[in-house]
Chain A
Amino acid sequence: MTFATPTSATAAVSAPVSATTGAWPGLDRVLISVGAWMLGLIWIAPLLYAAWTAFHPAAYETRFDLLAPLSLENFPLAWKQAPFARYFLNTVILVTSILSVQLVVGTLAAFAFARLRFAGRNLLFGLVLVQMMVMPDILLVENYRTMRMLGLVDTIAAIGLPYMASGFGIFLLRQTFMTIPRELDEAARLEGVSLLGLIWRVYVPLAKPTYLAFGLVSVSAHWNDFIWPLIVTNSVSSRPLTVGLSIFAAPDSGVQWSVINAATLMTSAPLLIGFLLFQRQFVQSFMRAGIK
């Protein structure tokens, strides 16, 4: 009893103090959570709508009913109404060919900029950086003219060619290569590796997180690219998914929203699933590629 009195007294005194100072951090956190949820909901709303309509009959396009019957009919319908298989193939070819050329060109260029000494190195690297600052859309007309000159209009190669020497990729890899200790380079040279052997055995394995991060950025960018493929292609055999989808979804084609949304889900599914599966690795590799 004698001990309890002083402790309860101090508790009574300190309680109002902590209440007044504690109120603001609490409010802060609430505001931040509300804001984050709002942004998240706004971002995901179209996707949720697409998912809702895609899995329900057309009658429920604009009518929300929790008990509406589920249906998978929209997917085969969409698949049959347009050559999506071909579009998928085109996009996959496009994305993989862009990425593989980007990696080869980027690796060689980045190594040269990071470790070789040659006349005009800084000037050339400056030009690579300039490429990162020019919006690709500005070059649409010029690129089209070039493709026509090369006789490549309406081919998959024409969609990919302007992006194959990626300034961003070169820059990212160069920065990574420069963090690799010179001693590793020297130790390997002492053992007699050739220049290409050095890149392959030392630089590439050590830059793996950067390759993964860049690969993700490149694949998602070119999977989703729309304007340039729209302009440079005009046949089923070269059209990628995005363009195919937009033609399929054009208002005058008279297709129902539920079918369009089923097609939309189908076309974005590979990226979404891929990201969900490898989410942790992606985030980690971004951290490693960025922070190092």
Chain B
Amino acid sequence: MKRAKSTCVAAQSLPDAPGLILHDLSKDYGTQRAIETLGCEIRGGEFTVLLGPSGCGKSTLLRMIAGFETPTGGRITLGGRDITALPSSQRDIAMVFQNYALFPHLDVAGNITFGLNVRRVPRAEQRQRLDEVARMMGLDALLRRKPAQLSGGQQQRVALARAVISGRPVLLMDEPLSNLDAKLRAEMRAEIRALQRRLGLTLIYVTHDQVEAMTMADRIILLNAGRIEQSGTPEQIYSRPATPFAARFIGSPPMNLVPAEALGIAAPPGTSAGLRPEDIEIAETGLPARLVSHEYLGADLLITVAAGSARLILRRPARLGLPPGPELCLRWAPDALHRFAPQPGPASLPTPDPASDPASGPACAAEPAPQPAS
């Protein structure tokens, strides 16, 4: 059942944060195209992650939404209102920057209330909102400190508080955790996620870290070279990657992607086959392979094997240990196999080299791999 509104925690909770729609947005820098014409919807109240390798255009996209960059073409609407030409301050958007962008000459209180001050909010109200936000973010004791006297995590909290106090329903974050150490990063991930839920913010979060994306996002928009590779929930992108790029980018170690013929799968030439490391089993029968190396991760063991000319990495619980001999057979469930049609353009996948094919192998059953159902 739906809870009554009055039990919601934060006084500032936004009933329904508006969503964003990008219509045919593109961006050129001189003759260089940074963002190919793209369109997508960012739903209100959701945690959306723009994920991609560096230089994929994710920050450019965020900066266009914030109004720091002017799109070359297309429109941005926020809750049905066209904001493409509006200055940043009128877009109802708050932002947390990668380096936090705290004003070094102002103390924590001054930083948090900077915007309220600029917008001439009455002192008493400033005071009250500051108290509320400071308590929520655990900054009560630090209000008189200067940013230089704070730790990275505290600075991060101040930056968040400054964004939250504005009461704006849309929050943009540009790689906000990249300057923190691993432990703090995990803490802040949970904290940011909880904050977004609690306030019902529309949060757009830029990162190149797939772990951040997988753990925090309601929806991931995966970008590569200025275009959208795939968008969907983390589960969708992980279990049904739409492109080889999506398959390789998400998951650690990444999905094994080899020419279909190397796995003995009948497919049109140029088709590549993908298998997640955890979906490959060592079995009595199946595809013959040879052990190459292994890596011990504590809970798991990563085993690299050569099947014909293809290299595959498989993951199995470390307690099962290594297989007894160097020769082994591989199996996988039919629906674990992903097929990708040949990509136009230069083939980046290694082609099988029959000369190096080691014909030897244990007596695996005649039929190498179970054929997928489709």
Contacts and interface: CB of A to CB of B under 8 A. Distances in A.
A65 interface: no
B299 interface: no
B101 A192 contact: no
Contacts of A193: 89, 118
A4 interface: no
- Best-surrounded residue of A181, A184, A205, A206 (most CB of chain B within 10 A): A184
Contacts of A93: none
A213 to B, nearest CB: 17
A181 B103 CA distance: 10
Contact of A187 (B93, B101, B105): B101
Interface string A236-266: 0000000000000000000000000000000
B94 interface: yes
Given A189-B88, A190-B95, A206 B114 contact: no
Contacts of B105: 205-206, 208
Interface in A36-87: none
A183 interface: yes
Contacts of B118: 188, 191-193, 197, 201
6 closest A-B pairs by beta carbon, nearest first, are A192-B89, A191-B115, A183-B101, A187-B101, A205-B105, A183-B97
B66 interface: yes
Nearest to A189: B88
A186 B93 CA distance: 12
Contacts of A191: 89, 114-115, 118-119, 166
Contacts of B101: 181, 183-184, 186-187
Contact of A192 (B95, B104, B119, B162): B119
A212 interface: no
B99 A181 contact: yes
A183 B175 CA distance: 13
Contacts of A184: 101, 103
Given A202-B103, A205-B105, A188 B114 contact: yes
A187 B95 CA distance: 8
B98 interface: yes
- Best-surrounded residue of A188, A205, A206 (most CB of chain B within 10 A): A188
A162 B212 CA distance: 60
Interface in B82-106: 87-90, 93-95, 97-99, 101, 103-105
Contacts of A190: 66, 88-89, 93-95, 115
5 contacts: A183-B97, A186-B95, A189-B89, A205-B105, A208-B105
Interface string B163-175: 0001000000000
Contacts of B162: 187
Contacts of B88: 186, 189-190
Interface string A87-129: 0000000000000000000000000000000000000000000
Nearest to A193: B118
Contacts, number: 55
Interface in B126-167: 162, 166
B68 interface: yes
A188 B95 CA distance: 11
A192 B86 CA distance: 12
Interface string B299-339: 00000000000000000000000000000000000000000
A191 B334 CA distance: 54
Given A191-B114, A191-B166, A206-B105, A186 B119 contact: no
Nearest to A185: B101
Given A181-B99, A192-B118, A186 B68 contact: yes
Contacts of A189: 87-89
A186 B68 CA distance: 7
Interface string B11-46: 000000000000000000000000000000000000
Contacts of B89: 189-193
A188 B115 CA distance: 8
Given A190-B88, A205-B105, A183 B98 contact: yes
Nearest to B119: A192
- Best-surrounded residue of B66, B88, B98 (most CB of chain A within 10 A): B88
Contacts of B97: 183, 186-187
A26 B114 CA distance: 58
B27 to A, nearest CB: 17
B16 to A, nearest CB: 23
A183 B99 contact: yes
A107 B324 CA distance: 76
Nearest to A204: B105
- Best-surrounded residue of A186, A197, A202, A205 (most CB of chain B within 10 A): A186
Nearest to A205: B105
Nearest to B97: A183
Contacts of B66: 186, 190
Contacts of B99: 181, 183
Contacts of B166: 191
A125 to B, nearest CB: 23
A142 to B, nearest CB: 42
Interface in A172-210: 181, 183-184, 186-193, 197, 201-202, 205-206, 208
A188 B94 CA distance: 11
- Best-surrounded residue of B93, B99, B103 (most CB of chain A within 10 A): B103
Contacts of A183: 97-99, 101
Given A189-B89, A190-B95, A192-B115, 19 more contacts: A181-B99, A183-B97, A183-B98, A183-B99, A184-B101, A186-B68, A186-B101, A187-B97, A188-B118, A189-B88, A190-B66, A190-B115, A191-B114, A191-B166, A192-B118, A192-B119, A197-B118, A201-B118, A205-B105
A228 B118 CA distance: 45
B171 to A, nearest CB: 11
A206 B110 CA distance: 15
A209 to B, nearest CB: 11
A87 B141 CA distance: 54
